[in-house]
Structure 1
Amino acid sequence: MDFSIKTLDPKAASAKTACIICGVFENRKLPAFTAALDAGGHIAAALKAGDISGKAGSTLLLRKLDGVAAERVLLVGLGADEEVAERDFLNANESAYKALANLGAADAINALTLVDVKKRDLGWRIESATLAAFNAEYKPDFLKSKREDAYPLKKLALGVASAKEATLAKQHLAAAIATGNGVNLARELADLPGNVVTPTYLGNTAKKLAKDFKFDVEVLERKQIEALKMGSFLSVANGSDEPPRFIVMKYNGGKAKEAPVVLVGKGITFDTGGISIKPAANMDEMKYDMGGAASVFGTMRTIVEMGLKLNVVGIVAACENMPSGRATKPGDIFTSMSGQTVEVLNTDAEGRLILCDALTYAERFNPAAVIDIATLTGACVVALGHHTSGLFTRHDEAHDALADEILAAGRQSGDVAWRMPVFDIYQDQLKSNFADIPNMGTPGAGSIIAACFLERFTRKYTWAHLDIAGTAWRSSPKGATGRPVGLLTQFLRQRTAK
């Protein structure tokens, strides 16, 4: 889809397009732009007759209105208040693009971006409306013999009130396009099946991204991983015929000696649970266990396209977790890259086993901060459901500041997180008679205990952990969300602005 910014002057009716999208309120009042279109009174009459309620997301299509150059006018409800609520604005845009999917309009103007939204500015409106269009256009039917019809809309102009606003809007539009591309890359990698997206596939994807977007990449294979003494990572990889890959992407957009932000993604391309095998029901969804890795790929693509003035390293530890004669058995003990020994009590708690070596590897970059992203625990879904990612950090001044940055980025992007505790008292639940640390704790606080395990491998830098088990994909209808690319991108944008 081609995007542009269009200044919509008071002569609203003269805008030529296949469809113009404009808002109406529940109180039957019209935003200024919609009122300017309604010289013939047809929109006011439709509201009075109850043809559209004005409730957020309600829609009504009108054709060939008197004095209006646009072929169609799509009315969209904005809710009760003339200063629109954030959720109502998002619903309105989502509903508008859904309605356009069933029309023959190849181009459209979205004038919803002209309305005021509570506590949000023009930039937010432009970015939100653009990302909603990316979401509407995305289809996960890559491997169907006959793909669904492509989204009919090819050109979308987003409305602003003046030339001065247009300059700012274009900057936000460019950022939104880059973010949308990154989100949809993450979605595609996660939605493709495990027999396509293998660790080797992810390694090749990293090489292609690096070539296309001009950043550095290393893809380490088994012998190199063994040389690094990543015994914990290999304890998971050993059960599969698919060879592991350890992927390091380096974007140097900042100053030469500036400490980078390091993103570490869990890349289990399929998770059977290993010897501690999962129940059969919904196991197909375990192709999504590389959602953290997908978000690192998506974020790297986004920030390079944006040209952020920041150094960022993206690390992905990728393998399958399979049962076989070579697979790790409950009770086995391995030595991690850090030198700490780990007793594997449950082979389905494998994400922390690959992440701990990746987090140790991150030390070599002397990072400004490290954030790991993982579909780590079902316990996080129990705690926070499918709307909010779990955020875990230590509790001190530096980590409180990092947590505040991440939470603020979530609020700004709409890709929200909630902070959970990582108090020292929880470490008492991680004890082994036979090794330095077990990969499972005593019952209770499962997502916190998983974070406490990771915390033991991050004490040389400032660190945060995002558990995205509830937010990386949906089960009905099944599909990846691309989260938390939006949150991570906004976090890095904020750091650049500082």
Structure 2
Amino acid sequence: MDFTAKTGSAATVRTDCAVVGIYKDGRLSEAAREIDVVTDKLVSGLVKSGDFRGQPGSTLLVPKPAGLGARRLLLVGLGEAGKLDLKAWRKAHGAAVKVLLGTGAREAFSFLSSETVADADPYTLARHAAEAAEETAYRFDEMKSVVETPPSKFNRLTMWVADRKAQSAASLGFKHGQGVAEGQSLARRLGNLPGNVCTPAFLAAEAKKLASAHQGLKVSVLEQAQMKKLGMNALLSVSQGSRQPPKLIVLEWRGGPKQKAPVAMVGKAITFDTGGICIKPAPAMDEMKFDMCGGASVIGTMATVARLNLPINVIGLVPAAENMPDGLASRPGDIVTTMSGQTVEILNTDAEGRLILCDALTYARRYKPATVVDIATLTGACVIALGHHLSGLMSNDDSLADELLRAGVEAEDRAWHLPIGADYDEQLKSNFADFANVAGRDAGAITAACFLNRFTRDLSWAHLDIAGTAWKSGQAKGGTGRPVPLLAQFLMSRAGVA
């Protein structure tokens, strides 16, 4: 989709559709008032008659409005007057794009940006306009033999700005927003693909394809024999019940000064998780194709980094494996020696994500990273704690945690800081190994992070548990691409570009 920013009057602009806001109390936005004057009180009449109430994200499309330069008029609810924040504005913008995609309009002029949005400038509005539009327009139909809904004609959105200075800021916002959206869409696509297509080998091939499209992005893949030589026995214990060989995908971006230590991102990619010998119940097991969304978010974020040519050094590590029940599969009670030399008693083969992550976190040390962030659909306990709205954040570095929390707020991809510590760590005790891979039901998301922290104690490290945010269930089933926006903002802030 193309995005532009211009000044103009809602009453006279020539466009396929003019988009204006209405507040919940019936108050018209400035652009809506302009239109009301030249249309013989069309807008205020619709409000007074009760045909439109301005509820947040509600819409009403008016075709061929007499007196307007626009061929269509789209009213969008902005909620309560005086309380329009970025989240509500983005919701309204996405709702408008959803309607536009279902019309014959090829382009539209949005005046939603003429309203005051709390803590948002033209750059921020433009960036979120692009992200929300692309997120709304995303479709996954590549596995269908017949596509019932034809592609939309809508492909250009113009956002109102006050002057040239705002226009310049908005142009940068559009550029950054499209870069984030590209990475998020890639992560969504990889998550939505079925497990018989998106195998560890497929993920590795997609990473190489990404590198071939972006000069400066380097990809290498460690094979099973190399992992065995390195002592990655925890990772290998997960894949040994599968016919799909594991891969450790390494993506390198060196956009910053050569001497500057990189940020390392490590993303869990279990391309399908049956639970292994501790097999999962059948209902909703199909959704375990999403257990690779941590790895998908790393690949997606690296796409954003390369697209925006960020001046920062970043290493992306994606340990990829399939967890299957087989005669060779790991058994409860098995003990493995990790790459770090620490031994782990596998009490539950369905707690496999931390087993592939721990060896990848140890491998990340060779890059002498300034910071390590791992991303994983790790625990159902995190879903119980936070639902599907916020990702769980745990860290051994409070300043890093604050940095990630701020990035989440700015990106509208929020996380919540949960504790870790010695009291929780005690729960991992084992009679037979250095520690176990599970610690019981109590504080399950936290003890999983404590497990990972045993491999990162002298690093600046944070863990994002995205089990509740990486995908949606029900009628809206599909990958969300989170937390690509959070990670992209975190890296853009570190690079000093946003």
Matches within 5 A, 1:73-112: 73-82=73-82, 84-112=84-112
Which residue of structure 1 aligns with residue 42 of structure 2? 42
Higher mean Cα deviation, 101-110 or 311-320? 101-110
Post-superposition shift, 1:126? 1.5
- Tell me the distance in 2 between the aligned counterparts of 1:227 and 1:305: 35
Which residue of structure 1 aligns with residue 486 of structure 2? 487
Question: Do the aligned partners of 2:59 and 2:76 also contact (CA within 8 Å) in 1?
Answer: yes
Question: Do the aligned partners of 2:339 and 2:359 also contact (CA within 8 Å) in 1?
Answer: yes
Q: 1:346 and 2:372 equivalent?
A: no
Post-superposition shift, 1:73? 0.8
- Tell me the distance in 1 between the aligned counterparts of 2:327 and 2:421: 39
Deviation readout 1:363-411 (Å, 9 max, x if unpaired) = 11111100000000000001110000000112xxxx1100000000011
Which residue of structure 1 aligns with residue 496 of structure 2? 497
- Tell me the distance in 2 between the aligned counterparts of 1:115 and 1:121: 11
- Tell me the distance in 1 between the aligned counterparts of 2:276 and 2:133: 39
What is the TM-score of this pair, normalised by structure 1? Answer: 0.96
Question: Do the aligned partners of 1:25 and 1:82 also contact (CA within 8 Å) in 2?
Answer: no
Tell me the SS of whatever aligns to 2:177.
helix
Tell me the SS of whatever aligns to 1:268.
strand
Which residue of structure 1 aligns with residue 219 of structure 2? 217
Instruction: Name the aligned partner's letter for residue 208 of structure 2.
Output: K
What is the TM-score of this pair, normalised by structure 2? Answer: 0.96
Tell me the SS of whatever aligns to 2:117.
coil
Instruction: Name the aligned partner's letter for residue 465 of structure 2.
Output: D
Post-superposition shift, 1:152? 3.4
- Tell me the distance in 2 between the aligned counterparts of 1:290 and 1:243: 15
Which residue of structure 2 aligns with residue 400 of structure 1? 398
Question: Do the aligned partners of 1:269 and 1:289 also contact (CA within 8 Å) in 2?
Answer: yes
Which residue of structure 2 aligns with residue 135 of structure 1? 135
Deviation readout 1:72-126 (Å, 9 max, x if unpaired) = 0101111221452333312211221222232111211122122111222222222
Post-superposition shift, 1:27? 3.0
Matches within 5 A, 1:216-235: 216-235=218-237
Structure 2: give runs of 5+ residues left out of the alignment: none
Which residue of structure 2 aligns with residue 467 of structure 1? 465
Structure 1: give runs of 5+ residues left out of the alignment: none
Tell me the SS of whatever aligns to 1:318.
strand
Post-superposition shift, 1:157? 1.5
Post-superposition shift, 1:226? 1.2
Tell me the SS of whatever aligns to 1:53.
coil
Instruction: Name the aligned partner's letter for residue 376 of structure 1.
Output: L
- Tell me the distance in 1 between the aligned counterparts of 2:374 and 2:62: 49
Query: How many residue pairs end up in the alignment?
Result: 492
Post-superposition shift, 1:18? 1.1
Tell me the SS of whatever aligns to 1:490.
helix
Q: 1:164 and 2:165 equivalent?
A: yes
Deviation readout 1:439-471 (Å, 9 max, x if unpaired) = 111441111111010000012311000000000
Instruction: Name the aligned partner's letter for residue 481 of structure 2.
Output: G
- Tell me the distance in 1 between the aligned counterparts of 2:83 and 2:453: 44
Question: Do the aligned partners of 1:373 and 1:465 also contact (CA within 8 Å) in 2?
Answer: yes
Post-superposition shift, 1:354? 0.3
Q: 1:478 and 2:477 equivalent?
A: yes
Post-superposition shift, 1:295? 0.3
- Tell me the distance in 2 between the aligned counterparts of 1:29 and 1:100: 23
**How much identity, in percent, do the aligned residues show?**
49
Higher mean Cα deviation, 170-179 or 149-158? 149-158
- Tell me the distance in 2 between the aligned counterparts of 1:484 and 1:495: 17
Matches within 5 A, 1:230-241: 230-241=232-243
- Tell me the distance in 2 between the aligned counterparts of 1:225 and 1:151: 46
Post-superposition shift, 1:17? 1.4
Question: Do the aligned partners of 2:10 and 2:111 also contact (CA within 8 Å) in 1?
Answer: no
Instruction: Name the aligned partner's letter for residue 134 of structure 2.
Output: F
- Tell me the distance in 2 between the aligned counterparts of 1:188 and 1:221: 24
Higher mean Cα deviation, 28-37 or 298-307? 28-37
Higher mean Cα deviation, 248-257 or 49-58? 49-58
Equivalent residue for 2:380, pick from 361, 378, 381: 378
Which residue of structure 2 aligns with residue 440 of structure 1? 438
- Tell me the distance in 2 between the aligned counterparts of 1:446 and 1:54: 42
